[in-house]
Structure 1
Amino acid sequence: MIITDTHTHLYSEAFDDDRADMMQRTLEAGVSRLFIPAIDSSCTASMLQLEKDYPKHVFLMMGLHPTHVKENYIDEIAHVTEMLNSHKFYAVGEIGIDLYWDKTTLAIQQEAFRKQIKLAKQHKLPIVIHCREAFDEIFEILEEEKSDDLFGIFHCFTGTLEQAHQAISYNMKLGIGGVATFKNGKIDQFLNQIDLSHIVLETDAPYLAPKPFRGKRNESSYIIKVVQKLSEIYQVSEQKIADITTENSKAVFGI
């Protein structure tokens, strides 16, 4: 069984004490394709090191996370631009809008999101979207930018069925992770109305650990709990969940 984690922060300080052991558990669990989103320029060196250490398994994205869009965002996007021009990346991400932590930066978050979508189109790369309390704002920009070369993943999708269909209409796959296993996660109530061809798996490690690990540090090996949950929801084998979602990830990332 080959499982793809389309969104995992393996360079996080949360793994500094046991990263090698964590990676061994991950690979032994069959999670052999790991896509790593960027946050800002401060994580670039550790991401590149991770890729060097695990070249057959780790694939990098480049982008500026919306919660890190600050006064210096122009400089940060210049860094994203420089890196995209000088190194191989598989997506522009994670990018988007987050109004949970700070609504005062909405205007520059929108500007950063637009700029990075244009970079993705320029490099013929998918985007990986972070959305928190900002579906309307995200959809407004996706509507402006929609085209055949706009595609990617709606990371950590937690919206409604209607919002799921809208995201899919913009050529986005839905990133499904630990939230699907939560009692109050809600998406498990309608996921079976979304064809599996639109779904990819993720952990967002070290965040959002699935049951029975909720509240603890997440890691990519725990994605098997998401596979098991989707197997129940879709009434198909775990093997089929792994196979289809991995094929979907290949369609997005091109590898």
Structure 2
Amino acid sequence: MIDSHAHIYASEFDQDRDEVVSRALAQGIEQILLPNIDLDSIAPMLATEAAYPQVCRSMMGLHPCYVDSNITQTLAEIEAWFDRHNFIAVGEIGIDLYWDKTYRTEQQMAFVTQLNWAKQRDLPVVIHTRDSIEETLTLLRQEQDGQLRGVFHCFGGSVAEAQAINELGFHLGLGGVSTFKNGGMDQVIPHLDMNYVILETDCPYLAPVPHRGKRNEPAYTQLVAQRVAELRETDVADIDRITTHNAKTLFKL
């Protein structure tokens, strides 16, 4: 199994990172993929990858919540890293209008810029959307020339939104929200095209039931897989096999 989106380089794991990785391996999580968020997260992310080279693989990108008026300089610094290290994806990128719409234009520019990096480097993109699905899809349709591929991480949308994402050739990342009673995903997951589904935790955030509200960790990918299997009336081994294959193919692992 692969946790396709985990921030285990975050300070929340500084006291027990070894144990967190060990628990993941014990649960059959063979790889943990690390999305970058800003300039400050690069050093701890790369240090975590170096500490667990058989398990962790890193991505490079600028999260929309860290876009500000200094965006041109920040993007230049982020992009320079692609010449210094081998990353598996451009991420985590996207548009987030939940907290603040101040830098909406800058977020759009940063998103399109990073989509073009992905095209130039033949890398998948890992997309974060919050209160912005239609805006994100519109930009993606404009930029999709057959070269773009990737995943809408932490998917919690409708069947129609899932189909729109799939039509663009993009995957859906299912995580802890899939297990929430009030998340609505019990009505969506049975109808998803499993050829476009991968698993994730987004740890330390969005821990699945029964750990909701506590720190999330990669071992809990297993709980997401179990919930998806229940909703699709199949066994966990089947979900494991399909989603692992999808993640390995998407990220060329």
TM-score normalised to structure 1 length: 0.97
- Distance of 1:77 and 1:169 partners within structure 2: 29
Residue deviations 1:71-104 (CA, integer Å, cap 9, x gap): 2221221122111122100000000000001111
- SS at 1:214 equivalent: coil
The superposition leaves residues 175-201 of structure 1 with CA deviations (integer Å, 9 ceiling, x where unpaired) of 000001000111221211112111000
Equivalent residue, structure 1, for 2:16: 18
Q: After superposition, give the CA deviation of every residue in 1:35-54 in whole Å (9 maximum; x if it has no partner).
A: 10000111111111111111
Where do residues 137-176 of structure 1 align in structure 2 (5 Å cutoff)?
137-176=135-174
Aligned to 1:216: 214
Structure 1 residue 118, shift from structure 2 partner: 0.3
| SS of alignment partner, residue 248 of structure 1 | helix
Q: Deviations over 1:142-201 (max 9, x none)?
A: 010012211100000111111110011111100000001000111221211112111000
Task: Please name the residue that 2:192 is paired with.
Answer: 194
Q: How does 1:1-255 map to 2 (within 5 A)?
A: 3-255=1-253
- Superposed CA RMSD: 0.8
Q: Secondary structure at the match of 1:93?
A: strand
Matches of 2:192 and 2:134 in 1, distance apart? Answer: 21
Q: Percent identity?
A: 43
| Whole-angstrom CA distance in 2 between matches of 1:188 and 1:174 | 15
Cα distance between partner residues in 1 of 2:151 and 2:220:
20
Aligned residue for 1:250, secondary structure, equals helix
Find runs of 4+ consecutive structure 1 residues off by over 3 angstroms: none
Structure 1 residues not aligned, in runs of 5+: none
Q: Structure 2: any 5+ residue segments left out of the alignment?
A: none
Structure 2 Cα separation of the partners of residues 33 and 39 of structure 1: 19
**TM-score normalised by length of structure 2:** 0.98
Mapped partners of 1:32, 1:251: distance in 2: 15
Aligned AA for 1:243? Answer: R
Per-residue displacement from partner, 1:86-130 (whole Å, max 9, x unpaired)?
Answer: 210000000000000111110000000000000011000000000
| Whole-angstrom CA distance in 2 between matches of 1:240 and 1:180 | 17
Alpha-carbon distance in structure 2 between the residues aligned to 1:77 and 1:168:
28
What do residues 221-255 of structure 1 show as CA deviations (whole Å, max 9, x unaligned)?
A: 01111011011011111111111000000111011
Q: Is the 8 A contact 2:69 2:103 kept in 1?
A: no
Equivalent AA in structure 2 for residue 239 of structure 1: A
Determine the C-alpha separation between the residues in 1 that align with 2:134 and 2:226.
32
Q: What is the rounded CA distance, in whole Å, between the counterparts of 1:188 and 1:151 in structure 2?
A: 26
